[in-house]
Amino acid sequence: MTSPRLCVRSRPARLLVALPVMVAALAGALTPLVRPAAGQDDELVELGRELYQTGCSSCHGPDGGGVETERDGTRGPSLEQSGEAAAYYYLSTGRMPLSNSEEQPTRKPPAYDEDEIEALVAYVGTLGDGPRIPRVDLGAGDLAEGGEIFRANCQACHSASGSGGALSYGRAAPRLSDASPTEVAAAVRVGPGQMPVFGPDTLSDEELAGLVRYVEYLDDPDDPGGVPIGRTGPIPEGFVAWLVGMVALLALVAWIGTRSPIGRRRA
């Protein structure tokens, strides 16, 4: 399954309602509930198809088959195996629509509101048999097991604290605290961008629930030691040692000791 990569510019009119829409979309994204599979609702799919034709088809093709040009190579990959999960992930994190196909998609305020996303998701889901939006039941997940899965599969790119990390040639694995539980679960199943794909035979739904629960824990972990200074390890710790500790100690010796006698005349 190739992941959707490119999308065309959004309608200028959308930007006018972007702000309240963003708030609403974020509020929707923060709830732990999962949208039910909407593939059966014909009206929703039709709305989705219309939105798709206007906003996505110039890069992803009129029927989601992708667009290849002689000059640019793949302008937009095929969405046939993307499934609802991919569409949900990309649209609700604002990574799509992407105005410049060269740049790495990064998290932005979503360009579509909740209902529009639901419609688009429903439509993309009909294009093939890609993954559905995962149902995440945080209560059923085991936190400790989730932690073990996280450290075995995720920390190499996203770091042990989930603060993200550098990939090759300017790409980056993003910080995880911005993502809602459903977005995390969708990303795991979809493998967007450079991320590998962890399907149900690699990571069961129970394991996924535990993993998502641990990622949510990392948003606000126990910090019994005090100010966490990023939780990214020895680099910020070294900065604090020099800029707080050493500065303080040097200030103390400057206070206690005397100044240089060079150039001083006898008092």
Residues 206-235 that bind another protein (CB under 8 A): 214, 217-218, 221-229, 231-235
Other beta carbons less than 10 A from residue 187's beta carbon? 25
Site string for another protein, 154-183 (x = CB under 8 A): -xxxxxxx-xxxxxxxxxxx----------
When the beta carbons of 38 and 187 are compared against another protein, the nearer one is: 187
Please report whether residue 143 would count as binding another protein according to CB under 8 A: yes
Of the candidate spans 15-23, 26-34, 51-59, 250-258, the one that interacts with another protein by CB under 8 A turns out to be 250-258
Please tell me the distance from the alpha carbon of residue 15 to that of residue 148, in angstroms, as a whole number.
Answer: 42
Please choose, from the candidates 255, 254, 1, the residue with its C-alpha nearest in 3D space to the C-alpha of residue 124: 1
What minimum distance in Å lies between the beta carbon of 102 and another protein?
13
Q: Are 123 and 43 in contact (CB under 8 A)?
A: no
Please report whether residue 109 would count as binding another protein according to CB under 8 A: no
Of the candidate spans 88-96, 111-119, 132-140, 239-247, the one that interacts with another protein by CB under 8 A turns out to be 239-247
Spatial CB neighbours of 92, under 8 Å, sequence gap ≥ 6:
25, 28, 29, 110, 117, 180, 183
Reduced to 3 states, what is the DSSP secondary structure of residue 6? coil
Please report whether residue 140 would count as binding another protein according to CB under 8 A: no
Please report whether residue 191 would count as binding another protein according to CB under 8 A: yes
Reduced to 3 states, what is the DSSP secondary structure of residue 172? strand
Of the candidate spans 24-32, 40-48, 111-119, 145-153, the one that interacts with another protein by CB under 8 A turns out to be 145-153
Please report whether residue 244 would count as binding another protein according to CB under 8 A: yes
Please tell me the distance from the alpha carbon of residue 5 to that of residue 234, in angstroms, as a whole number.
Answer: 35
